[in-house]
Amino acid sequence: MTKEPYDTKAQIKYKNIEKTFLGNTQEVWLSINKFFQELIPTFEIANKLMLNIDLQKLTKDSEGIVAFSKEGPSLLASRNKLTDNETLILWLLANYLGHQLGILKKEALSKEELQAKLGKDAKITSTRLGELAKNQIAVRTADEEYRITTFGITQAQKEILPKIKAKMRT
């Protein structure tokens, strides 16, 4: 029986980072501390740059604009006060919310569904969806449907929802 050249082994795995430390207890402990001292600031910096959706805040921000019933999502804003892009963004946002809240089975909508909800012809709907995709507000899925992006949700919260609320007050 051969004796290992070390008495302590520690393995750390977090997401796609995996590190193994070998040595005596003190060496392993010092190595782990150094590893975390170098890693934690990187995580903190990266976390500040990540777009994260606070579902509770998004729900509150969407209150009075989007609603759900047994028939599905509805937009409470008057259609004649909204631009085509605002309308499409709201429908995509409503589906995202409905899916996240467990009300809807899927978050994406087909171009035909969006066309019907927009009430415009196919060419206008395609053009507007292309604009939203170009601006990274929406993305076309592998199933040829559209869903709102994380960036789109962030933009909706910062710019679009407040603007729509203001329009609804007038």
Q: Tell which wins on pLDDT, 65 or 43.
A: 65
| Cβ proximity of 140 and 151 under 8 Å | no
| Cβ proximity of 24 and 42 under 8 Å | no
Domains of the chain with bracketed CATH: 8-49 (no CATH), 55-169 (1.10.10.10)
**Of 12-16, 47-51, 62-66, the least confident:** 47-51
pLDDT band at residue 2 under the 50/70/90 scheme = low
Q: SS3 for 73? A: strand
- Percent of the chain's residues with pLDDT above 90: 69
Residues 112-128: what's their mean pLDDT?
96
The answer on pLDDT for 3 being more than 80 is no
Which residue's entry shows tokens 């193994």? 20
